[in-house]
Amino acid sequence: METPRTVVLVEGRSDQLALEALAKRRFRNLDSEGVAIVPMGGASNLGSFLNVYGPHGLNVRLAGLCDAGEERDFQRGLERAGLGSNLTRDETERLGFYVCVADLEDELIRALGPAAVEHVIDAQGDLASFRSFQNQPEWRGRTIEAQLRRFFGTRGGRKIQSAASLVDALDLNRVPPPLDGLLAYV
């Protein structure tokens, strides 16, 4: 792709894969639309990417997705890049930047429900590992949603491996609002 029309900044590869899977399910070809989803390798790298793609760089249309824990950092980064001041969540969304309640996995687990998420884990051959994880003393008393969310982060690559599969399992009428809003924005 040449210089994209829109750049979507996401924290990591799992976010990228989830958005690409959702676009595909909605019969959108982001490449042909000039939309590039760029994983930043963590929210702390936002400033560097805003320097490249923002008003003082390539000046392309921007959008993004972050976890709730990084929301204020994203707002400050957007403000430093000259895209607003004292940004609220509503203003940030008007700029095309959406916030996951906790993180992407939390959004997908709530949208799918635990049984559907376990089905995805089983299809990937990881259900026995999840059952072992659930039996660890520190996780026994936790909700299944908390167990699932943590399980995705227990092995390097599990979030990446599962992102598209979780999106593929979604009922398209129950897409988490941050993903839905971001894809509609671009």
Instruction: Kindly report the backbone phi and psi dihedral angles of residue 173, in degrees, each rounded to the nearest multiple of 5, phi listed first.
Output: -90, 0
pLDDT score for 3: 84
Task: Find out whether 47 and 83 touch, Cβ atoms under 8 Å.
Answer: no
pLDDT score for 106: 94
Largest CA distance in the chain: 51
pTM: 0.93
3-state secondary structure of 143: coil
Spans of the chain below 50 pLDDT? none
Instruction: Kindly report the backbone phi and psi dihedral angles of residue 86, in degrees, each rounded to the nearest multiple of 5, phi listed first.
Output: 50, 50
pLDDT in tens, 36-45: 999 999 888 9
Q: Which domains does the chain have, with CATH numbers?
A: 6-104+173-185 (3.40.50), 105-169 (no CATH)
